[in-house]
Structures are given as structure tokens and as C-alpha cells.
Structure 1
């Protein structure tokens, strides 16, 4: 007689994987940036574009986190520029990524890039600042 597989010890379900929290770019605080919807592929009501595509414009999200720790943050963006972009990313006022590469997507379709950052329990302020003469179109910021 074959032994029975004890399974997971009583029929308990394994924990669900974390679900991304999505913060739409058009709901963020903006400086030298505009909300637009002229290109398809965005979520929410539109996307944010630096305006007038100059260095110094920024998009700032406020994200609430239950537990402090290192998390993967994922920017969803599009870029029709031929070259990569490198915005400065700050978390709670500290530069987290000064040369994070946002590769060109070749057109204005949805794309993404991610990086790891330490988030504190409670409120976190995440800012993407343009460092060059033109920028990407941001759809959203997501993290588990």
C-alpha cells in the first residue's frame, strides 16, 4: 500500500503572493509636468509628461507602507526618445538612484523599469526628477 502524501499539513492554503499597490502618476504631486492622454496604453485617466521637457521637473508619489524593509519599486513609463533617460529618484528626501536607467521603448507604449529601495513603515515620499532636456511619460509607480 502506498503512503499518503501528508500535503501541507491539514489542508491549509499557502499564503497569497503580495499584490502590487499601484499609484497612478496623474494622482501624484507635479512640478513642471502635465497630465495628458494623447498616447494609448496608460492606466487610470492618463499619464504624466515633464513639461516643457526640461531638467528639474518632478513627479512625487506618497506611498503608505505597513512594514519597513527593502521593496522593489516599479515605474511604468514610455519613451519615444532614441536614448535612455536617467531621472534622479529620491525616497523620503534621500537620493536612492541618481543614474537609474529608463531605456527607450522606441515609441509611447507601456514599459517598465524597477529598482530596490528601503521604505519605512508609514508614509514614504518617492520622487522622480528629470535630469536632462527631455523625459519619459509616466503611467504609474507600483510596489508589493
Structure 2
């Protein structure tokens, strides 16, 4: 599954500005992020991009995204994940190295069913790192598809 926004306008010889409202930035794909102790796979349908991160099930496992923020605001960090276990999983989220909270990732009922879990973060304009990790007090295994920054 690919994600895009398509805008079609009539031909014109003058310059125009097109502003999109209510459209999230493209997802940051987990398979292209920095990975620790995990692998990538394509064996469950419905993922975006070219695959997803799996084997995200042990203390020390992590995925770190380099993200770009346009405006000073509170953003929703939306993690798209699969959790085929019967229990929720928990992961610690860090922004620029500082733990901001944990995010709960409820069971999706199947490893081929994707869900979204969100956590809020106040971000300033510029480059940031967002790390989702299996800390010592976290639980459960997940597959991680992507991260979307939404406002």
C-alpha cells in the first residue's frame, strides 16, 4: 500500500499556490529507520512502503526515526503496528534522547491486521529523533510499519 496526495488542477500560465489542510505528512517507514535487535519482513499483508519491522519482542530492541518538523506545536506520534498476541504490548518513546512516556499497543487480533497507537509530543521546528524501544519494564511483541507526525 502506498501513501500519497494527488492534486489535479487545470492548465494555467500564471503561478498558483496550493495549500493542503488536514493532510498528514507522509509516513516515516520503519524499514528505513535505524534498527537495533530487530529485522524487516514482508510476510504479513497490508503494510505500507516496502516492508515492516518484525522481531520487535525483546528488551533492548528499538527503531529510531529521523524526522523533520515544520512548526512549533504539539504533534501526535502515530505508530502503525501489528500485534497478533492476545495481550497489549507497551513501548517506551524517546524524543531526542529523552523519554516522553510509554505507548500501549493493544492486540490487533492477528499479525496481518494493523492498528495505530498515538502519543503526544511538543516539538520545535527542525530535525528530531523519535525512538520507540522495548525498555526493561515494557512488554509484548509487535511488528512496526511506520510513524506519522500529525497535528
TM-score range, shorter chain: 0.7 to 0.9
Residue of structure 1 aligned with 2:104, choices 77, 101, 107: 101
Q: 1:101 to 1:15 in 2, by over 3 A?
A: same
Q: CA deviation at 1:133?
A: 6.0
- Equivalent residues, number: 130
Following TM superposition, the consecutive aligned residue runs of length 4 or more in structure 1 with deviations greater than 6 angstroms are none
Q: 1:14 to 1:128 in 2, by over 3 A?
A: closer
Q: 1:38 to 1:118 in 2, by over 3 A?
A: same
Counterpart in the other structure of 2:66: 62
Structure 2 unmatched ranges of 5 or more: 1-17
What SS does the aligned partner of 1:86 have?
strand
What SS does the aligned partner of 2:99 have?
strand
Q: CA deviation at 1:134?
A: 4.1
Larger radius of gyration: 1
Residue by residue over 1:11-49, the C-alpha shift from the partner in whole angstroms, topping out at 9 and shown as x without a partner, is xx9962243331011010000010111111101111001
CA distance in 1: counterparts of 2:44 and 2:148, whole angstroms: 20
Residue of structure 2 aligned with 1:90, choices 88, 91, 94: 94
1:139 has 2:145 as partner: yes
Length-normalised TM-score, structure 2: 0.79
Query: CA RMSD of the aligned region, Å?
Result: 1.9
What SS does the aligned partner of 2:104 have?
coil
Residue of structure 2 aligned with 1:21, choices 20, 26, 35: 26
Q: CA deviation at 1:135?
A: 1.9
Does the Cα contact within 8 Å between 1:71 and 1:119 map onto a contact in 2? yes
